[in-house]
Amino acid sequence: MFESLMISLQLAFVTTSILLLIALPLAYLLAYRSFVGRTALEVVVALPLVLPPTVLGYYVLMMIAPHSPLGLLWQRLFDSSLAFSFSGMVFASVLYSLPFAVQPLQQAFRAIPKRWLEMAETEGLNVKQLFFQLLLPASKGGILVASALTFAHTMGEFGVVLMVGGSIPGETKVASIALFEMVEMQQQSDAWLLALVLLAISFVMLSLVYSVNQLGAQRLMHR
């Protein structure tokens, strides 16, 4: 149980870290830029919210299969298979949790007062300066929310990680899969304890989200 929980925590941490690097520029693009295909990009980002996890897991598995272009490239670079590995689960988790990182950041960027952006343009800030000196500091709440939601969502993944990673002890057997197997084997006490730990983690993450949102709402009222 402890081993599978540690794998889940590691997966959630790595996925959240990677997604923040991807989601920040992507959220900025969707919040402030108009371009051909913008709606299509928003649909692609939001797709994991409605797509069955096993469907997404199946397509990801086909993408990283040993004879696929990506699978062959990974094999040549790292001399290992991407499918049914921790790295493969990270790849799938990044895709599956993408909207949980992008959408809170997109909303946080859009909530920044327009007069702040106008003042920044007046002072001659370029895009890089605007992003790091204004948008990121003003969106700390959104970054925390995105991080908490992504972490909690990744901790609770089942269908996607099962399709892509399988259930290899010590490598790809995450807590949700271990819980399922405990119930199948009628290990009720272990299942109850693991479920309680996952519930506690989810409760803490969501408490953080609601606390940040409440603080944000209070600051808006006092502007």
pLDDT on residue 122:
78
Q: Say what the pLDDT of residue 90 is.
A: 96
Predicted pLDDT of residue 223? 53
pLDDT for the residue 176: 93
pLDDT score at 7: 95
pLDDT of residue 100: 94
Mean pLDDT, each 10-residue run in order, the chain (223 residues): 91 96 92 86 92 92 92 91 93 95 92 80 78 84 91 91 90 93 91 93 87 65 53
Structure-token pair, residue 160:
């996607």
Quote the pLDDT of residue 16: 96
Q: Contact at 8 Å (CB) between 205 and 151? A: yes
Q: Which residues contact 71 (CB under 8 A, 6 or more apart)?
A: 63, 64, 65, 81, 82, 83
Q: Can you give the length of the chain in residues? A: 223
Torsions phi, psi for 35 (to 5 deg):
-155, 160
Q: Which domains does the chain have, with CATH numbers?
A: 2-221 (1.10.3720.10)
What torsion, rounded to 10 degrees, do the Cα atoms 52, 53, 56, 57 define? -150
Which pLDDT score, from 0 to 100, does residue 209 have? 83
What is the model's pLDDT at position 2?
A: 83
